Amino acid sequence: MSWGAKLGQAPIWAIGLILLSAVAAAQPEELPVVRIGVIVDGPWEQNETVRRLTIDEVTTLTEGEFDVRFPAEAYLIGDWSYQTARDNLERLLRSPDVDIIITWGILVSHAVCCYADLPKPVVAAAVIDPVLQGLPNKGGASGVPNLSYVEFENKIDREIAIFRQIVSFSRLDFLINTNFVEAIPELPGRTFQLAAQTGLEVGMIPVGDSVEEALTAIPDDAEALYLWPLFHLSSDQRQRLIHGLKERRLPSFTALDLGEVAEGVLASATSNDFFPRLARRVALNIQRIMLGENAGLLPVRFSYRERTKINMATARAIGVSPRWEILREAELLHTEESGLGTMSLERAVNEAIEANLDLAVRRRAVAAAAQEIAVARAAYRPQLGLSALGVQIDDDRAAASFGSQAERTTSGSLTLSQLLFSDPGLANIRIQEELQRSREEELEALRLDIALEAASTYLNLLRAKSLVRIQRSNLEVTRSNLELARIRRTIGAANPAEVFRWESQIATDRKSLVEAQASQDAAEIVLNRLLHRSLEQGFVYAEVELDDPGLITGQERFEGYTETPARFRLFRDFMVQEGLTVAPELRQLDAAIKAQERLLTSLRRSFWAPTVALEGSLEEILSRGGAGSAGPGFSIGDLMLPRADDSSWSIGVGASLSLYSGGSRRAEVIQAEEELTQLTLQFDAVAEAIATRIRAGLQIARASFEGIELSLQASEAARKSLDLVSDAYARGAVSILDLLDAQNAAVSGDQLYANAIYDFFVDLMEIQRAANRFDFFLSAAERDLWYERLEDYFDRAGVRRSEARHDPPIRLEMER
């Protein structure tokens, strides 16, 4: 009997199901029992996962209508041979205990084509090429009673194009399961034909049970490898194959990624939801068959989504650097180089404090300025000097000096001076000490500023990474909508303009992704500069969570201090008090005020306080020569006068006091008084600014914290709306503009949520800088003391904090 003749026959099995359904309607407590058998090609690590997916999907779709069972004895696993696949299929076809058969595998699905008459419904879930495999196709269905199959869309030309975007090659070799080639001999030829259309030289390498033989069979001039599904390989064999390809620095592409890219294959273009979508399609066919539809009239075409994935660790290992356009849209695995450290918020801040060049420059300046104190103290310590002098005079003058001065004289002298009292000197010591304290507080303020800058930069880098994920996800949604529009176009439900509109939207979304990626890269460079690292160095960046114990928001004992306006007001008062106590800006001004006060005191004392000093000297004639150098002395008449010896010394105490300097001292006093008043006013102004910054920052942070939950609600609502509108668009119930609006709203909602999270953390860092208290700078003991002061402050105000609430914390779910 021909295929066409059988098409007109009503399936007896379907009529039986209808009768069972009628009986079930009369007796609702009993549902029709349907037993489903499943056949797979051979042992495979994912067999149970696929089987579980199928059971769950079928059970969910038929719940309340049928009692669906998957008998363990009707689950047959082959041995990767075509003959066993046929035997298993024949076994279930003859079995009276199986009502429907699902063939999960290329070999067993191919075995279906050998039957001219099927006694029960069969759903062949893995048909590669129905023409090559001899399967009928009439109007997009099998056209044969009891036969439904799922035809994979042949995208080999598209996949090769994607592969060549990642790496350039002119020869492509295919690794194909030997059993598939034996079962479908025409398969390699068809594959080569499609590949050759792209201008490539092609070759085939059969892969049997020996991975080593397959690796040896790879020609020396191989440039790239395309891996057909190698389900028959064990995990260890697959790892050896991948390792061998990487050792030879050969780029590889897998047709159906089931974890191979993560394990080391360079790339794939299969989305992660391939098997879930295929399981859903099989389940839908099963449901329709149960409800009485002719299996031969069910559509066979199965279109799956593309999702380029690249293993960047493999790319680095084999020396491949994909182009920007492919990197922007692909899912990148192992982007961080091995050995990279994990960067966290706390680590970023601490590294910036230790290594930042701006801070290092200021430290050196403060260290150099510290010597001003030593210089000031030196003026009040003994001053000792040593000098030597050689003098030569004309001989006649030396001779006429009666021996008091030789023609040539060499002498040395030692001088000593000691300041006994000088109020300007004492004042300078104190002034320099206070100025140094001021400089140290200025350094502390810069340290806190660098900490804030590092924290904000780190958080903005995380924000940029989140926005990149959002834009990449949005691009995927747009691409899916484009595919849907193309399908609608082929069935006449949409016009060409609709396809063009989605293509335009993809270009726009790609531009947004480029800009987001550039912002992320720029933020990473800025962070590396702050950390004084190589500007191109990468890290694994740890996310920040609200319940991080290193932050005040993650400490349970903090709860209850801000939950009401009254408590929040009291908490603001406490934070201001704490902030003003330790503010380096105020300490800096306090030191400057003390220095100015001491200067003013010294200027006032200058009217009556003298400067008293001790001075002494010792001089020694070291040598004499020439005229006038001889003789014990000189004579006046008969009187011989001795000459003074070669040593002389002197010592004295002197005091000085300036009586009048033209009025300059009075002017200096007035100037110092005005500058002191200026510093005092500046102190008050800075204190007021700090209090304002703390109070305003707390109000802003409170609002941004509440904004996280609100923006999450908005994001989730926009996502639900997008799902509903997408379904309606697929059914033709809404226009493309409605879907675009919903998609834009969803993207805006995701961006709003991401920004809300990082806005709050940045606001939190701003508060901690304003209050001069970064959580990750405090030890456990210091944190305990801070809480003790907080509790004491509330107690003294007569306000008891409420018991800690147990509301579930807000989770930061940036990965959607």
Using pLDDT thresholds of 50, 70 and 90, give the confidence band for residue 672: very high
Kindly state the DSSP code that residue 138 receives in the 8-state scheme. B
What mean pLDDT is predicted for residues 86-106? 92
Using pLDDT thresholds of 50, 70 and 90, give the confidence band for residue 627: confident
What mean pLDDT is predicted for residues 192-209? 82
Q: What pLDDT score was predicted for residue 13?
A: 45
Buried b (16+ CB within 10 A) or exposed e, 59-70: eebbeeebebeb
Residue 575, pLDDT above cutoff 70: yes
State the average pLDDT for the chain.
Answer: 85
Highest mean pLDDT among 156-160, 642-646, 708-712: 708-712
Kindly state the DSSP code that residue 504 receives in the 8-state scheme. H
Helix axes 345-355, 423-490, angle to 10 degrees: 140
Cβ within 8 Å of residue 273, ≥6 positions away: 305
Percent pLDDT > 70 in the chain is 91
Q: What pLDDT score was predicted for residue 552?
A: 76
Q: Average the pLDDT over each of 258-262, 315-319, 464-468, 680-684 and give the range with the smallest value.
A: 258-262
What mean pLDDT is predicted for residues 288-294? 90
What confidence tens digit (pLDDT) does each residue in 414-430 have? 999 999 999 999 999 99
Sheet holding 383-392, edge to edge: 383-392, 408-421, 611-625, 647-656
Q: What pLDDT score was predicted for residue 115?
A: 77
Cβ within 8 Å of residue 454, ≥6 positions away: 348, 349, 351, 352, 353, 356, 527, 530, 531
* Pairing label, strands 201-207, 171-177: parallel
Q: What pLDDT score was predicted for residue 813?
A: 45
* Pairing label, strands 647-656, 267-270: unpaired
Count how many Cα atoms sit within 13 Å of the Cα of residue 334 in the half-sphere of its side chain. Answer: 18
Instruction: Count the neighbouring beta carbons within 10 Å of the beta carbon of residue 413.
Output: 15
Beta strands in 488-610 (DSSP E): 540-541
Q: What pLDDT score was predicted for residue 689?
A: 95
Count how many Cα atoms sit within 13 Å of the Cα of residue 775 in the half-sphere of its side chain. Answer: 18
What mean pLDDT is predicted for residues 717-735? 87
What mean pLDDT is predicted for residues 40-59? 88
β-bridge partners, 127 = 151
Residue 533, pLDDT above cutoff 90: no
What mean pLDDT is predicted for residues 743-756? 92
| Tokens 């059970």 sit on residue | 59
What confidence tens digit (pLDDT) does each residue in 110-140 have? 888 777 788 999 999 888 777 777 778 888 8
Q: Nearest CA to 777 among 483, 461, 455?
A: 455
| Tokens 């801040």 sit on residue | 349
Alpha-helix runs per DSSP H in 248-344? 260-263, 274-290, 312-318, 324-329
Using pLDDT thresholds of 50, 70 and 90, give the confidence band for residue 625: confident
What mean pLDDT is predicted for residues 63-86? 91
Using pLDDT thresholds of 50, 70 and 90, give the confidence band for residue 194: confident
Count how many Cα atoms sit within 13 Å of the Cα of residue 405 in the half-sphere of its side chain. Answer: 11
Q: Average the pLDDT over each of 24-33, 239-248, 510-519 and give the range with the smallest value.
A: 24-33
Q: Average the pLDDT over each of 24-38, 233-247, 476-490, 698-712 and give the range with the smallest value.
A: 24-38
Separation of alpha carbons 816 and 715, rounded Å? 11
Using pLDDT thresholds of 50, 70 and 90, give the confidence band for residue 632: low
Separation of alpha carbons 474 and 469, rounded Å? 8
What confidence tens digit (pLDDT) does each residue in 428-470 have? 999 999 999 999 999 999 999 999 999 999 999 999 999 988 9
Beta strands in 70-157 (DSSP E): 75-77, 100-104, 122-127, 147-152
Q: Kindly report the pTM of this predicted structure.
A: 0.74
Q: What pLDDT score was predicted for residue 337?
A: 64
Q: Which amino acid is at 564?
A: T
Q: What pLDDT score was predicted for residue 603?
A: 92
Q: Average the pLDDT over each of 104-108, 727-731, 803-807 and give the range with the smallest value.
A: 803-807
For 419, the 3-state DSSP assignment is strand
What confidence tens digit (pLDDT) does each residue in 201-228 have? 888 898 988 899 999 999 999 999 999 8
Q: What pLDDT score was predicted for residue 225?
A: 93
- Answer for the pair 309, 267: CB distance below 8 angstroms, yes or no: yes
C-alpha distances (whole Å) from 292 to each of 21, 103, 564, 590, 791 are: 10, 20, 63, 90, 73
Using pLDDT thresholds of 50, 70 and 90, give the confidence band for residue 643: low
What mean pLDDT is predicted for residues 629-633? 59
What mean pLDDT is predicted for residues 604-626? 89
What confidence tens digit (pLDDT) does each residue in 247-279 have? 999 999 998 887 889 899 999 988 777 888 888
β-bridge partners, 141 = 138, 299
Residue 169, pLDDT above cutoff 80: yes
Q: What pLDDT score was predicted for residue 808?
A: 43
Residue 802, pLDDT above cutoff 70: no
Highest mean pLDDT among 344-358, 460-474, 681-695, 768-782: 681-695
Q: What pLDDT score was predicted for residue 804?
A: 38
Which has more confidence, 168 or 631?
168
Q: What pLDDT score was predicted for residue 281?
A: 87
Percent pLDDT > 90 in the chain is 42
Which has more confidence, 189 or 652?
652
C-alpha distances (whole Å) from 605 to each of 143, 346, 381, 610 are: 115, 52, 21, 9
Q: What pLDDT score was predicted for residue 608?
A: 92
Residue 18, pLDDT above cutoff 50: no
Tokens of 175: 């690794």
